[in-house]
Amino acid sequence: MIPRVPGSRRLSSVRVLSTFDRTLQTFPPEQNLDIIQRRGGLVAVRARSATFPSPRFPDGIYQRLTKLLVNVNIESSLGAVHVIMSSDNTVKDLIKAAIEIYVKEQRRPLLEETDPNFFQLHYSQFSLESLNAGEKVKNLGSRNFFLCLKQRPSAADTSSEKPKLASEPLFFLTKLVDLLL
| pLDDT (tens digit per residue) in 59-107 | 666 666 689 999 999 999 999 999 999 989 999 999 999 999 999 999 9
| Residues 41, 175: Cα–Cα separation, whole Å | 79
- What's the full length of the chain, in residues? 181
Does residue 57 fall inside a structural domain?
A: no
CB atoms within 10 A of CB 18: 9
pLDDT computed for residue 27 by the predictor:
47
Beta strands in 10-156 (DSSP E): 33-38, 41-46, 67-74, 80-86, 119-122, 144-149
> Any idea what the CATH number is for the domain that residue 144 is in?
3.10.20.90
- Residue 152 is predicted with a pLDDT of 72
In contact, 106 and 114? CB cutoff 8 Å: no
Burial string for 141-152 (b: 16+ CB within 10 Å, else e) reads eeeebbbbeeee
Q: What is the pLDDT of residue 50?
A: 44
Q: Is the residue at 120 inside a domain? A: yes
- Could you give the C-alpha distances from 129 to 72, 100, 123, 134, in angstroms and in order? 16, 24, 8, 15
Q: Residues 22-36: pLDDT tens digits?
A: 545 544 445 544 555
Question: Residue 49: what pLDDT?
Answer: 45
Please determine, for residue 38, whether its predicted confidence score (pLDDT) is greater than 70. Answer: no
Asked, for residue 112, whether it belongs to a domain, the answer is yes
For the chain, what is the domain count?
A: 1
Q: What is the pLDDT of residues 157-170, one digit of tens each?
A: 555 555 555 556 66
Look over the chain and give the mean of its residue pLDDT values, rounded to a whole number.
74
Domain that holds residue 96: 67-149
Q: Per the domain annotation, does 93 fall within a domain?
A: yes
Q: What percent of the chain has pLDDT over 70?
A: 49
Does the global pTM surpass 0.75?
A: no
- Exposed, middle or buried: residue 45 (CB in 10 Å: 0-12, 13-18, 19+)? middle
- Residue 157 is assigned to a structural domain of this protein: no
